[in-house]
Amino acid sequence: MKRKIRMGMVGGGPGAFIGEVHRMAARLDGEIELVSGVFGRDPEKSRQCASDLYLDPTRGYADYQTMIAKELSLPENERIDFVAVCTPNLYHFTVAKAFLEAGFHVLCEKPVAMSSAEAVELDSLVKKNGRLFCLMHNYTGFPMIRQARQLIADGVLGTIRKINVEYSLGWLAAPNAGKQAAWRVDPKQAGISGCMADIGTHAQNLIEFVSGLKITAVSADLATFVEGRSLDDDGSVLLRFNNPVARGVIFASEVATGEENNFILKIYGDKAALEWHQQTPEDLILRSNDAPIQILRRGWPGTGSAAAAFSRLPAGHPEGFLEGFANMYKAFAKAIRDKQPGDYPSTADGIAEMHFLEAIVANSRGTEKWTKVPQ
């Protein structure tokens, strides 16, 4: 396939933060070309947005059903290869399902659906139709996260004992945090959880991606600090894993006043420990009790091939948030060319995150000490 992969988008219209991030990331490696989309619920604004993005205005559609029908009516060498779903949570399952049924590949924002039952249905549909599905957990695309996963797989940390994750944001500390905040605390659009669906799922996914362990039970305390909200804006979760030795904790908050995007992963084994900070993503800290602390730096001698494979620039030229998204797009474009799944989160990860969300919400509302997470 000696051409660019053609991409459509649903969501990500004017004023949508994450939509523009997706578009920039998709463009970064020159593998993908955005050609059509539904850029909001207002048909005229969608057409205008398409024009502003230098697309054919006739391919700025009024709704996703029209988009599917019109794209299928085009010759194969013009229609999209895949769609990126960048809507509020409410529409992830419905839109993804419709495009999968129409024969298109799908890249979808997280969480994958509004329930685990929907996630399982998407997984079945992907397998039945032989389509490809990428779930956008962009932090799995960071080079030093890939290096951390490799170190654990190589046994450098030994047996994992403790995993601590903090994800602190301050942007929802005030009652009126703007358009992007409103839908995230609305159960009709966000689902059963607010903060934990938005950023807690990043923590859950990164823990399982890096450590190779699966969360099997949770004890959760979800809180809503800002009056008038119907969903959690803060949460703390104790974790147990399929490794019976290991324990963990997730602290996630979107009302941590003054915080920016403070995402920290710490994993402790019986031989060594590692630590990664999203706000300084070029560094991976490696500790033990019998050697000096090491700082492995992206692009520097001594850092391994796992990080190098997801890097673009020499050391000292920082790579971060956009490149993490771009690495997911690059991997997905390769998968489409190769006609087989790549190394990125999939519907299986979507099922895991929904089981996690349902378990912590049930536990926080209930009286049992621990709630099992279905495997």
Question: How much is the pLDDT for 367?
Answer: 97
Classify residue 204 as left (phi > 0), alpha (psi -120 to 50) or beta. Answer: alpha
| H or E segment and range at residue 269 | strand 262-269
**Are both 177 and 270 inside the same structural domain?**
yes
- Same domain for 219 and 229? yes
Domain encompassing residue 18: 5-139+341-346
**CA–CA gap between residue 205 and residue 151 (Å, rounded):** 18
Q: Are residues 108 and 157 in the same domain?
A: no
Q: What confidence score (pLDDT) does residue 259 get?
A: 98
Structure tokens at 315: 């050391």
CB 296 within 8 A of CB 284: yes
Q: Which residue do the tokens 């029209």 mark? A: 66
Structure tokens at 25: 């990331």
On whether residue 324 sits in a domain, the answer given is: no
Per-residue confidence band for 182, with pLDDT thresholds at 50, 70 and 90: confident
- Counting residues of the chain whose pLDDT is more than 90, the rounded percentage is 93
Could you read off the pLDDT of 92-122 as tens digits, one per residue? 999 999 999 999 999 999 999 999 999 999 9
- 127 has a pLDDT exceeding 80: yes
- Beta pairing partners, 264: 166, 277
User: What are 26-78's pLDDT values in tens digits?
Assistant: 999 999 999 999 998 889 989 999 999 999 989 999 999 999 999 999 999 99
* Domain presence at residue 334: no
* Same domain, residue pair 228 and 290: yes
Give the chain's domain count.
Answer: 2
Residue 94 shares a structural domain with residue 154: no
Q: Is the pLDDT score of 180 beyond 90?
A: no
The verdict on 193 and 297 lying in the same domain is yes
Please indicate, yes or no, whether residues 194 and 296 belong to a single structural domain of this protein.
yes
* Pair 164, 303 in one domain: yes
Structural domain includes residue 328: no
User: And the tokens for 311?
Assistant: 């890097």
Mark whether 169 and 286 lie in a shared domain.
Answer: yes
d(CA 349, CA 108): 12
Which strands, in side-by-side order, build the sheet including 5-11? Answer: 32-38, 5-11, 82-86, 105-109, 133-136
Task: Please name the amino acid found at residue 77.
Answer: N
Mean pLDDT of the chain: 96
CATH code for position 60 = 3.40.50.720
Please report, for the domain that includes residue 144, its CATH number.
3.30.360.10
